[in-house]
Amino acid sequence: MISSHQAQCLLAAAQDKAKLLNVPVNIAVLDGAAHLKAFVRMDGAVLGSIDVAMKKATTAALFQTTSESVWEYCKPGAPAPALEISNGGLAPFAGGLPLKGARGELLGAIGVSGGAVSQDLEIAQAAVAALSD
């Protein structure tokens, strides 16, 4: 499982990247069971994005893949259309990433929301890169 220290490092790295991009975001870090471990709402981040950040992280944790990868299963005509309404609601678009340990085990997930989807993904990727350093 992800430690409190690791979760705080993820939040710090994500905030640093968000500041470089000049975009205030909400950042959620979940443990491997998809329970909240750490969260920050940067000053000026949109309130409606709190839930989106949580759902991106939940999507990544529950399916142990990137949040956008889940879209391939739930889009119209896919094997599981409307999958995004399961589990209290998923967010099958970019900005949620699983956090893996050295042996590939799931430690948790991070979800970022508040910027453009591409910015959210870039911020989440910067946080994950800092975790592996």
DSSP-based three-state secondary structure for 41: strand
pLDDT per residue over 40-89, tens digit each? 999 999 999 999 999 999 999 999 999 999 999 988 898 898 888 888 88
Report CA-CA distances (Å) from 48 to 9, 77, 131.
Answer: 24, 29, 27
DSSP state of 131: H
Cα–Cα distance, 70 to 17 (Å, whole number): 25
pLDDT for res 133: 61
On whether the CB atoms of residues 39 and 28 are closer than 8 A, the answer is yes
Got the DSSP string for 50-100? HHHHHHHHHHHHHHTS-GGGGHHHHSTTSSSTTGGGSTT----SSSEEEEE
pLDDT of 132 over the 80 cut? no
pLDDT for res 94: 96
